[in-house]
Amino acid sequence: MSDLARALRAEAPGKPARPVVLLTGATGYVGGQLLPALEAVADVRCLARRPDAMRGRAGAGTEVVAGDLLDPATLPRALDGVDVAYYLVHSMGERGSFVEKDREAARNFAAAARDAGVRRIVYLGGLGPDDASLSPHLASRHETGGILRSSGVPVVEFRASIVLGAGSKSFEMMRALVERLPILVTPRWVATPAQPIAVHDVVRYLAGALALELDESVVFEIGGRDRTSYGGLMRAYARRRGLARLMVPVPVLTPGLSSLWLGLVTPFYARAGRALIESVRHATIARDDAPRRLFDVDPMGLDASLDRALADEDADFETRRWSARLGPDAAFEGRENSRLVESRAARVAAPPERALAAARARFEGEPLARFALASAAAGLVRLAATRRLPGRLRLQLEATPADAGSALRATLEFDAKGLLGIAFWHLLAPARRRAFVAALDDAARGASA
């Protein structure tokens, strides 16, 4: 057992020892959502190929160890003294054969968990029939569960339908299509039955597996309260965003052709698109109610899940500090889930308070957007554009202490509404960049004067 694990267990004599939990995939979507829930009830250790990526994500008492599931030599240290191990890794978004990588990673982890005496493995897979018709993606998900069970360590495997949450690949792919296309060409697989589940309900199931009493492996099929289809999900999302979308069914668009079409429309999701589309053609309906009986989870319905996903994204943007993520000087222009982001920094020969006040005064007078105060915190001001635009435009201003003054960062965040909003952002990019840089430079000079 590691020194940290021993210290944590000895921290409160007379109190029941909290389980020691290893979380793999903590930098991923579901793992990042699960981490705070585990930290509340267990002593957590995270395995990460790049421990620096966990900075700002893990709590003060959480141990982060360097390791790679494709490097067996790094796993004994990570699994030393662990009671329950969460396996939430997937190679689908990486280059090369994700099937081979997932197989090798699962074998390495299964052997290391057995040798370390782990009492339980908790694994998140995908819903789908256990037969030869499975897509490579779902077949790999099922195979991974089988490899973990072959270790002899009891495995709690959850098989989920489409996971709804800002950042989920399936959700983001659907959202990109609905946001960009006024007319949606919908092949047959769009009508396949599904049972989408909110990521918050997935997290509650996963966290509940810690206290589940069992001595053998078990598979649970989990889904949300409502049954729909990928097409129904598209229509529900369009309603919530106030987008009028025409869906035109066509019988001949195969998964292969669909992935090529997806690559043209949403290149950001093209690599994972084909695997996801091939999986969508399988019905993903939970066939029994055992999870609801054994876990304290009352799953959300479709509309509530979508509302929660959009509200979570807003809350995340309200609390995010781009200076912590990008560092003091780096520039960034790209996409953060559905939001379009441009962030730039400048050094100011003045204290942070003066730099922030000068930046706020300069940007509030910007004629292109007419920003007004939305919220403020220590070293941070958020402004919202008051002009009518095809989407929501917000500006975050941050000032932090730095050598001989402060580091000033300004970040534009645009929540584009439909194709018009996306076109607005990209067509005005040259003019926007010039105005943005000029305003930031003016603020820096004004604060330094």
**46-67 per-position pLDDT tens digit:** 999 999 888 778 888 999 999 9
**237-247 per-position pLDDT tens digit:** 999 989 999 98
Q: Are 407 and 345 in contact (CB under 8 A)?
A: yes
Q: Are 351 and 405 in contact (CB under 8 A)?
A: yes
If you ran DSSP here, which 8-state letter would residue 284 be given? B
Look at residue 309 and tell me if it is in a domain.
no
Select from 301, 331, 355 the last residue of a domain: 301
Reference 407, options 444, 382, 432; nearest CA is 444
For residues 181 and 89, state if they share a domain: yes
Q: How many CA atoms lie within 13 A of 378 on its CB side?
A: 1
Give the model's pLDDT for residue 273: 53
Within 10 A of 111 (CB to CB), how many other CB atoms are there?
Answer: 15
Give the model's pLDDT for residue 392: 92
Give the model's pLDDT for residue 326: 86
Look at residue 84 and tell me if it is in a domain.
yes
Domain containing 324 equals: 320-448
Low-confidence stretches of the chain (pLDDT < 70) are: 1-16, 91-96, 132-133, 252-281
For residues 31 and 162, state if they share a domain: yes
Q: Are 185 and 250 in contact (CB under 8 A)?
A: yes
**CATH value at residue 17:** 3.40.50.720
Reference 209, options 144, 121, 88; nearest CA is 121
For residues 356 and 441, state if they share a domain: yes
Give the model's pLDDT for residue 16: 59
If you ran DSSP here, which 8-state letter would residue 94 be given? S
For residues 222 and 80, state if they share a domain: yes
Q: Are 408 and 355 in contact (CB under 8 A)?
A: yes
**CATH value at residue 345:** 3.30.530.20
For residues 226 and 349, state if they share a domain: no
What are the residues facing 184 on neighbouring strands? 247
Look at residue 308 and tell me if it is in a domain.
no
For residues 340 and 239, state if they share a domain: no
Read out DSSP for 125-145? EE---SSTT--HHHHHHHHHH
Tokens of 356: 């922030």
For residues 296 and 332, state if they share a domain: no
Look at residue 307 and tell me if it is in a domain.
no
For residues 286 and 330, state if they share a domain: no
Look at residue 314 and tell me if it is in a domain.
no
Give the model's pLDDT for residue 188: 78
Cα–Cα distance for residue pair 145/132, rounded to 1 Å: 16
Give the model's pLDDT for residue 2: 39
Give the model's pLDDT for residue 11: 44
- 């942070």: which residue's tokens? 352
Reference 251, options 299, 295, 189, 309; nearest CA is 189
For residues 286 and 366, state if they share a domain: no
Look at residue 259 and tell me if it is in a domain.
yes
Select from 269, 301, 333 the last residue of a domain: 301
- 């003060």: which residue's tokens? 60
Select from 251, 268, 301 the last residue of a domain: 301
For residues 378 and 413, state if they share a domain: yes
For residues 281 and 326, state if they share a domain: no
For residues 25 and 88, state if they share a domain: yes
Our count of domains for the chain comes to 2
What are the residues facing 84 on neighbouring strands? 21, 120
- 């940290």: which residue's tokens? 4
